[in-house]
Amino acid sequence: MAFGTSGKILRVDLTRGTIETQQIDEEFYRLYPGGKALAAYFLLHELPKGTEPLSSENILILANGVLTGAPFSTATRYTAVARSPLTRGFGESEAGGFWGPELKMAGWEAIILKGRAPRPVYLWIHNNHVEIRDARDLWGQEPEFVQNKIREIHNDKLIRVLQIGIAGENLVRFAAIENDLRHFNGRNGMGAVMGSKNLRAVAVRGNSKYVDWANDPKPIAELGRTLAKRVKEHPQSWDLQDKGTPGLIEPLNAAGILPTRNFHQGAFEQVDKLKWAVYEKDLLTARGSCYACAVRCKREVALDDRYQVSNAYGGPEYETVDGFGPDCGVGDLQAVAKANELCNRYGMDTISCSATIAFAMECFEHGLIGLKETGGLDLRFGNAGAMVALVEQITKRQGIGDLLAEGTRRAAELIGGDAKYFAMQVKGQEMPMHDPRGKVGVGLGYAINEAGADHLTAPHDPMVSNPESVSFKGAKPLGIEAIPSRELSERKAKNYAILENWTSAGKVTGICFFGPAPRSFIQVDEFINAIRAATGWDIGVQDILRIGERATNMARAFNVREGFSPKDDTLPERLFSPLENGALQGVAISKPDFEKTMAELYRIKGWDSANGAPSRERLRELDIEWVADVIGV
């Protein structure tokens, strides 16, 4: 293969202890250019139907995108894919940082991990040298120790270490994978899959140049310089650089869509204790970044006060501040920072963890669980100390934490009664901290996404609601129109389908959500030009949208094969009830309008309304008709 990729895939069978190399050709890679698409292809071909997520037969795939490691801002992402232990469907989670680019520089596009090692191990990759090494002395240790130890063993401080924590070892169903201690594949329980394989870490050092970025490196280098300059000029990327995502707390509270007390409310009376000015003054120590990225959206924090918080594990993002803050009724920023540090230290998704604790608090307030079940913890909303203690219990599966480590859907089934109404989840995955009652396109994404509720399936409605906004103008070349945030209609379904394909293409090619328009500073034509420059491919906007649609349809087909149907594409009943306070007090999603819009979305996508499967005709149009044979349509 000429440009943009080595075309090499590393295959590791942990049961047999074997390591093999697979070489893919350019024809294959143009259809599945990395990330979500490449992983979905192999999962459909090689994972038998009905495989248990935490069995040795599950497959974990770590896949770079074709642009991962390119020399410009936000080209940093890789994807982790397996059958999810949280949803039992297509499991997917992206992360940035430095690990993906390092894997690229070592000469590998993806790693396919099978089997289960007989004892704890880690995988060591140094360019073409790959070996499975003993990790029994690393098992049970904290990530900072593990990273330092691996670097010490190999005498190289620049080794990039991807790893799980104690939560992954304990098979917490929403355990995360982390790299460099600060970057996370948080969603869908990929850390539990890795833990079930007795694989503690994948350490990579790539100090050779295995990938040529096009025949002429000048265009992509020039694009890098242009984008680095624009980061400081574009209002959205500048805001991310200045405040990061924690800056969303105040505007979402003002808009009445800040999830509060397990999504009962849209505004929090103690928001002033959590706002950016307090975060910056009391917590912030540095602004971190990912490989070659000038956005620098990562916050790093430290505390030595009522709580001790190390700066080794980054700082809380917006989702975490709201999840452990207003959604749990907690107005204590120090407690929020500590809960975040514990999740990162132990390797656990902060969204699912905080949402699960909010669920437990509502169960406690309604008498479905009591002090006997909680071991004396008073789990009423607002109890910061109990919240922090529960993070520890979930990680270690102690007391009620053992139940909650199963996620809200399973916990609700075991608790019984009205608990199922308090579980704010879709397909088993807990909802992120964005309320669809104020931006209904996010609700469409929560419902239809193959991995369960996820806020990064498509750009959020406010970004494309104002025709005069910078964000809408940036995305207009995709063929969208400006539509009010709360409108449910045929045209909203059309907008969503386009934007979902655009976002999915980013997950395939390795671009961060905070790169392209409408969310940020890279314009549509520049994204296209980046792929052209890096690969030499002659592609346009519609080609990119097809790349994204192809990946989404393969992921959808996996779920159909595993028994999912349109009945799983829904939302928690609470979202069809009015918000209790805030600027949108009294506002709910109309269930008939929602269902009508979902039906239109199915039609646009070419999916069967009875079984949810993509039609053979649509799959043929996407050049993946083989998928129809896999699912029998």
Q: Could you report the per-residue pLDDT of 543-566, keeping only the tens digit for each? A: 999 999 999 999 999 999 999 999
Q: pLDDT grade, residue 272 (50/70/90)?
A: very high
| Residue scoring higher pLDDT (252 or 223) | 252
Residue-wise pLDDT tens digits, 197-237? 999 999 999 987 766 777 677 788 888 888 888 988 899 89
Which CATH number among 1.10.569.10, 3.50.50.60, 1.10.10.10, 3.30.470.10 corresponds to the domain 235-430? Answer: 1.10.569.10
Which percentage of the chain shows pLDDT scores above 70? Answer: 99
Mean pLDDT of 310-327: 97
Mark out the alpha helices in 112-217 (DSSP H runs).
Answer: 143-153, 166-169, 190-196
Q: CB–CB of 589/124 below 8 Å?
A: no
pLDDT at 221: 81
Q: pLDDT grade, residue 1 (50/70/90)?
A: low
CATH classification (class only), 8-205: alpha beta
Q: Mean pLDDT score of the chain, rounded to an integer?
A: 96
Q: Is the peptide bond prior to 566 cis by the omega test (within 30 degrees of 0)?
A: no
pLDDT at 3: 72
pLDDT at 281 over 90: yes
Four-point Cα dihedral 81, 87, 90, 92, nearest 10 = -30
Locate the domains of the chain by residue range.
Answer: 8-205, 235-430, 440-520+538-631
Q: Using the 8-state DSSP alphabet, how is residue 607 labeled?
A: B
pLDDT at 111 over 70: yes
Residue-wise pLDDT tens digits, 284-305? 999 999 999 999 999 999 999 9
CATH classification (class only), 440-520+538-631: mainly alpha
Which percentage of the chain shows pLDDT scores above 90? Answer: 93
Closest CA to 489 of 569, 575, 410, 590: 590
- Name 409's bridge partners: none
Q: pLDDT grade, residue 2 (50/70/90)?
A: low
Distance separating alpha carbons of residues 397 and 315, to the nearest angstrom: 24
Mean pLDDT of 591-609: 98
- Name 23's bridge partners: 8
- Name 185's bridge partners: 177
Distance separating alpha carbons of residues 600 and 496, to the nearest angstrom: 11
Q: How many CB atoms lie within 10 A of CB 35?
A: 34
Distance separating alpha carbons of residues 488 and 500, to the nearest angstrom: 16
pLDDT at 253 over 90: yes
Q: CB–CB of 299/468 below 8 Å?
A: no
